[in-house]
Amino acid sequence: MSESTYSIMDSIKHLPKNIKESFVRREAGTPEQEQAANVFGNVFLHLHPVRVHVNALRPGYTLGLGLISFYLFLILVLSGILVMFYYTPSTELAYQNMKDLEYVVSFGVVLRNVHRWSAHAMVALAFLHMCRVFYTGAYKAPREFNWVIGVCLLIVTLFLSFTGYLLPWDQLAFWAVTVGSNIASYMPWIGDKVRFLMLGGNEVGQMALLRFYVLHVAVLPLIAAVLVGVHFWRIRKDGGLSRPPSQLED
Ligand code: HEM
């Protein structure tokens, strides 16, 4: 048998084993090694550490407030994309679009309210999460950097809420943003310039609506997603969640 015939036959013989090994790329080890390898080898599970301290699993410690804020963010992205199918950032059309979404589109009123209530809830939950972090002293070393990332996340969440508020272009939205941008103009020295930059002009009109729309659907969600990524990465790097001093040596 020639060398090349042999190797082709050989590959055919080993095909099932090779296919299996291309999926499962390791030998079976002890159950603990197996568990660890499963976590390392899977990109989704890889986000979790192989071992966590038992304190991190106590629901009463975190109250799940950070995770709930994160899930709300995901709901907002998803429902926001769906709302975008029905919305035009134009002073002529925006209000009518929102009314159509409520009264014409099937389940549109549900979609709108899911987006609206999740936004209110995310502001409240991110704030409560910050209170929990403060209460458990989790802002102290080595987690100061993650606290700062958290503050940035809260500010971005508030800006997301503020920019979204203008989009329905109803009386509430118009006057809320008029008042909000007037407050910004009271900043010493740069106030008027900041207001002009915010509104793209001197009054709340088409340019302001477009600016708020772009910030709301693209710029701020992207910043939030990056910050959430850094926030979660820091939790891993800081040795998992904080715990009471009495449990630090465990
Ligand atoms: C969009 C907003 C936010 C999201 C999605 C978020 C998400 C999370 C998650 C999932 C955790 C893991 C523990 C838990 O579930 O409580 C966590 C921990 C933490 N977060 Fe946030 N967070 C946000 C805002 C904030 C804010 C506003 C602060 C503080 C100003 C903050 C500071 C921290 C710190 C220091 C930890 C570590 C806590 C510990 O080790 O006990 N986060 N965050």
CATH number of 63-247: 1.20.810.10
Q: Tell me how far apart the terminal alpha carbons of the chain are, to the nearest angstrom.
A: 64
Which residue owns the Cα nearest ligand 1 atom 11?
66
Residue intervals of the chain classified under CATH 1.20.810.10 are 63-247
Cα-to-centroid distance, 129 and ligand 1 (Å): 6
pLDDT, tens only, 73-106: 999 999 999 999 999 999 999 999 999 999 999 9
* Separation between Cα atoms, residue 41 and residue 157, nearest integer Å: 34
Which residue from 71, 133, 156, 243 has its CB within 8 A of the most atoms of ligand 1, so it is best to mutate? 133
What's the number of CA atoms in the CB half-sphere (13 Å) around residue 210? 9
Q: How far is CA 62 from CA 46, 79, 175, 239, in A?
A: 22, 27, 38, 16
Helix axes 144-166, 108-135, angle to 10 degrees: 150
Residue 128 has pLDDT above 90, yes or no: yes
Residue 53, C-beta contacts closer than 8 angstroms, at least 6 positions apart: 240, 241, 243, 247, 250
pLDDT, tens only, 193-225: 999 999 999 999 999 999 999 999 999 999 999
- Sign of dihedral through CA atoms 192, 198, 200, 204? negative
